[in-house]
Structure formats: C-alpha cells, structure tokens
Structure 1
Amino acid sequence: MNSRRTTRGRRLWTFAVAGLLTVAAAAAPASATQQNTGNGNADTKPTVVMVHGAWADASGWDGVTRRLVNHGYTVRNPPNPLRGLSNDAATIRDFLSTLSGPIILVGHSYGGAVITNAATGNPNVKALVYVDAFAPKEGESVFPLAGADSALNVDPATVFDFVPYPGAPDGDVDLYLKHSTFLDSFATGVPRPQAELLYANQRPLTLSAGFAPSGTPAWATIPSWYVLGTEDAIITPAAQQFMAERAGSTITRVKAGHLSMITAAPQVSAVIEQAARATS
C-alpha cells in the first residue's frame, strides 16, 4: 500500500512539474514581447544583475546590494558556474531571459568576460558596468589580458593549487588561488579576518575557462561604465585602462585593489546608479 502511494505521489509530482514547465514556456513569448516594447513607466528603476568572478561568490556584492536595495532597486546576483566562458555566459543569458524590463548588467573580474558575452543581442540590457573586470574583444581570452605585471603572470605553480574535477577534459583542472596570492594580491585592502573567510570560501575557475576565446562583445553595442581599481594586482590598472578605453566605457577610478566592490562599495554603487540614470 505504501509503495503504491509513493508511486502515485511521484507521478503527481512529475505531472505537476511538467504542467508548470508548459505554462512557463507558453508565457515566455508574451513576456519577451512585453520586455521589448520599452522601459514602460519612466519612474520604474531597472533591475541590477551582478555577476561575480573567479575565486569568489555572490556574497562579494553584499555591500553594493545593500545600498542599491535601500535606493529602491531590485537586485539579482546569480551564481556564476565558473566552468567555461561559453557555458557561464549561456547560464547568465538564460537567467536574464527570465527578467522583464530594463537591466543593468554588472560584472567583476572574470564576470566581466561573462557579461560581455551574455548580454550580446539582449535588448533589455541597457548598460554594462565593469568592476575591476575583463572586457575582451572577440577571440581574446582572459588570462593574457591580465597585464604584464599581474600577480597571475608568473609560474602558475606558484600562484595556483591544481585540483582535478570529475569529467574534466584532458589537461584541465580547477584552479584555486594559493593562500599567499589570495591575501597579498587578490584581497588587498580587505580586513584580514574577512580576507581569510573569503579565501576559505573561494570557488575555483577551470584552467580552460581562462583561455577560452570570447565571442562578439556586448560593449560594442551597449553603453558601458568601468570602475578601475588603481591598486589592483590581479588585473593591472594599465590593462583595465586599455580595455575600458577600447570599450568606450565611462571610467571611474577608485583607490582600491581587486575587490573594490567590497572595499569601495559606495563608489561602485554610485557608478551603477549613474549607469541606470543615464540609460533610463
């Protein structure tokens, strides 16, 4: 008897899920049509979507998120899989497709490469905001863009811990930052106790993701803003300047290391709001 009830329950659950998916699929075109008709009420603030980079997670946006929410913005910070540029961009692209209305899309570090690819062709993305981020052009990969003096541009064995992962292609591994690199180069300016927590919680990037070629850049057609950390040791200030100027970004310099969204959250929030106002 219990077995029959369990089987019946599973069938009901399967039918319910299938029904929800059917409803969602039917509603999607209507939602997309609504999104493409414009911004609607001029007083409606855009949704801010922030994408974290490698060796981090969405909690790095907490200070920025708090300020934006207090100023009336809806904020969404989806996880970045960090499995490969095309996969990561597709994940964020699909997430964006579920949102209605105008979007301000923000990326930190490797997340900048992700938004560069994820926003291409999406008319709802009104502005891109790069925060100490990669902004590659088509065919470029992120690691070579970090700059000649980057802390990453040394013997990889001195910077990374190499960790295998299931199903990895030949030669691919997960990259974790070594403790010294994380504290001395990645989390500069972050209070030591907080930096230690960030190190313990870091999420790895695959080696292959660092060398994957980028696609058509969204910054070629979408206006962009750039927060440039003048003390960044991961993506050098010179490299950031080059990418920001090439993208035609409005540049704001902050005295901060690579994690300026943590150590300079008010300034980063202000730039995001500037982008939102300028494109509303």
Structure 2
Amino acid sequence: MNVNKRAHRRRAGRRAGSALLLGLIVLASAVSAPAATGAPATRPGPQPTIVLVHGAWADASSWSGVVRQLQADGQHVIATANPLRSLAGDTDYLKTLLGTIDGPVVLVGHSYGAAVITNAATGDPDVKALVFVNGSVPAEGETVAELAGPDSALAADPTTIFDFAPATLPPTPETDVYLKSSTFLESFATGLSRDRALTLWATQRPITFGALNEPSGEPAWKSIPSWYLIGTRDLVIPASAQQGMAEKAGSTVIRFRAGHLGLLTDPTTVARTITTAVRATR
C-alpha cells in the first residue's frame, strides 16, 4: 500500500513538472514575440544626399563650416561648384550632377544658388526637400536681380557697386560682374572680420550679368516642401524681401541674426535647419 502511494506521488510530480515547463515555454514565447498592432512596423527611409549650391561671388568652400557639422552628424554631403555663367546653364550643370546620385536628395541653395535649385529640382522625383539660405527664390519669369528689392545695398548705380570685365559699358550678358571692395566689405561680408572679408573679396568668383537678369523657369517649390532661413541682418537681400519670397514659396521659415553670409558666420544654425529638412523627408 505504501509502495503504491509513493509511485502515485512520483507520477503526479512528473505531470506537474511537465505542466510547469510547458507554461514557461509559452510565457517566454509571449515575451519575445513582437506585439501585434494590426499594421507593419514603419522603418525610416534611405538617408538622403545633401547637395549644397553656393551663390554669386563665392565658391563651394563657403559651405565648409556647414559641411563639417553635417558630416559630424553622419550626413552624406556634396558641396558642388556652381559655374555662375547663366541660370539655365547652371541649372543644367546641377541636373547633370543629380543624375549621378542614387536615392533621395535634399537640395540647399544660398543666395543665387537658391534660384538654381529652384529650377534644377523641377520634375525630379528624387528631390525631397529644398532649403533656401538667404536665398533668391524666383517664381516663373522673375530674375535674381529684381528679387533683392529696392532696399538692397545692390539697388544703386551699378558703376558704384560693381566692377565689370570687360569694363565696356553697357554690360552684355557675358560680362563678368565683381563686387567692388567697398560693397563686399560694407554690405556683403558683414559679420566677418575685416581680414577674412578682404581675403574673400580678393578670391571672389564673378557671376555673369546675364545670369543675374535671366528669367527663371517653372519653380520646384510648387511641388516640393521647402525651408527658408532668413538672415535678419542681410543688407544684400533684406529680410523683408526674403520674407516675401518665403511666403510665395510656402516655405517653413526660420530666422537667424546673420548677414548675407550667414552660412559662414553661423554654420550651426544653417546645419540645424538642413537637418530638420532631412528628418522631415524620412
């Protein structure tokens, strides 16, 4: 009798142990399995390539501070050389570059460069966002020269603010336009030390007279979201003119206390604005 009782207890213990083991397996599966939400989990899209386009009287090195910050943040960046020969030609040059890039793109343009990206991105499904920095942002038919407005430091007798090459007047569409040292130091390069401003003046790249006065084509901002960084101390494209262009383009507006070369004096704010646009595309 006692032997039967002991056997019964052993069999009962084995059944209880099996039940406990099965329960632990089920519990572990429930913990490790993802919760059902009724919809697939979303994943961020591919990281876009950021393409930076400089403006007149500058070159791609003007983006150096911005590039360093974006690269430190893990962004893929290209600061391209803008020929500054004609709006249509510069647009085609940028389109050729965009054709070599796989995946999404965020285009960033400073000053005249904003007009170039406005034209180059039209009809390109890979361009997901536009960022204008102290930008000339035209509607169809508008020119860069007129967008600065009557309050611009450049809205004066051209012979007092520009040097032309060749010097023969009136200028032709092919005439190179340089900023006089007084214009460059007092209006264009505000916020920089005099020594740095003098170096930039001596190394400025000219733009043609035709590029400044060439009517723009269909603007990309009609179909692509945009951000506009307004320099509130800009004397070349005053803040009021920038505000009007930003409203026209339906841009998200950010302001910073910078002159026309805000990309040099405050690269942190510029990089942060670009990063905001990048995140909005993913």
TM tier, smaller:
0.7 to 0.9
Separation in structure 2 between the aligned mates of residue 76 and residue 171 of structure 1, nearest angstrom: 29
Q: Which runs of 5+ in 2 are unaligned?
A: 1-42
1:178 aligns to 2:180 (yes or no): yes
Q: Structure 2 counterpart of 1:80, which letter?
A: N
Aligned to 2:260: 258
Aligned to 1:143: 145
Whether the 8 Å CA contact 2:53–2:79 is kept in 1: the answer is: yes
Q: Which runs of 5+ in 1 are unaligned?
A: 1-40
The offset of 1:164, in angstroms, is 2.4
The offset of 1:200, in angstroms, is 1.0
Where in structure 2 are the equivalents of 1:1-80 lying within 5 Å?
42=44, 44-80=46-82
**CA deviation string 1:137-194 (max 9, x = no partner):** 00000101101110110000000000029xxx95641000000100110000012221
TM-score, normalised relative to structure 2: 0.82
The offset of 1:115, in angstroms, is 0.3
Match of 1:208 among 207, 210, 213: 210
- When residues 170 and 225 of structure 1 are mapped into structure 2, their CA distance, relative to the original with a 3 A threshold, is closer
Aligned to 2:40: none
Aligned to 1:187: 189
Separation in structure 1 between the aligned mates of residue 162 and residue 186 of structure 2, nearest angstrom: 14
Separation in structure 2 between the aligned mates of residue 181 and residue 106 of structure 1, nearest angstrom: 25
**CA deviation string 1:51-107 (max 9, x = no partner):** 000000011100000000000111101100000000000000110110011111000
Secondary structure of the residue aligned to 1:209 is helix
Whether the 8 Å CA contact 1:45–1:72 is kept in 2: the answer is: no
TM-score, normalised relative to structure 1: 0.82
The offset of 1:196, in angstroms, is 1.2
**CA deviation string 1:27-73 (max 9, x = no partner):** xxxxxxxxxxxxxx726421110000000001110000000000011
Cα root mean square deviation, aligned: 1.4
- When residues 217 and 49 of structure 1 are mapped into structure 2, their CA distance, relative to the original with a 3 A threshold, is same
Separation in structure 2 between the aligned mates of residue 237 and residue 178 of structure 1, nearest angstrom: 23
Separation in structure 2 between the aligned mates of residue 44 and residue 184 of structure 1, nearest angstrom: 43
Q: Structure 2 counterpart of 1:211, which letter?
A: N
1:220 aligns to 2:232 (yes or no): no
Match of 1:230 among 219, 229, 232: 232
Separation in structure 2 between the aligned mates of residue 190 and residue 100 of structure 1, nearest angstrom: 37
When the two structures are aligned, how many residues end up with a matched partner? 237
Q: Structure 1 counterpart of 2:144, which letter?
A: V
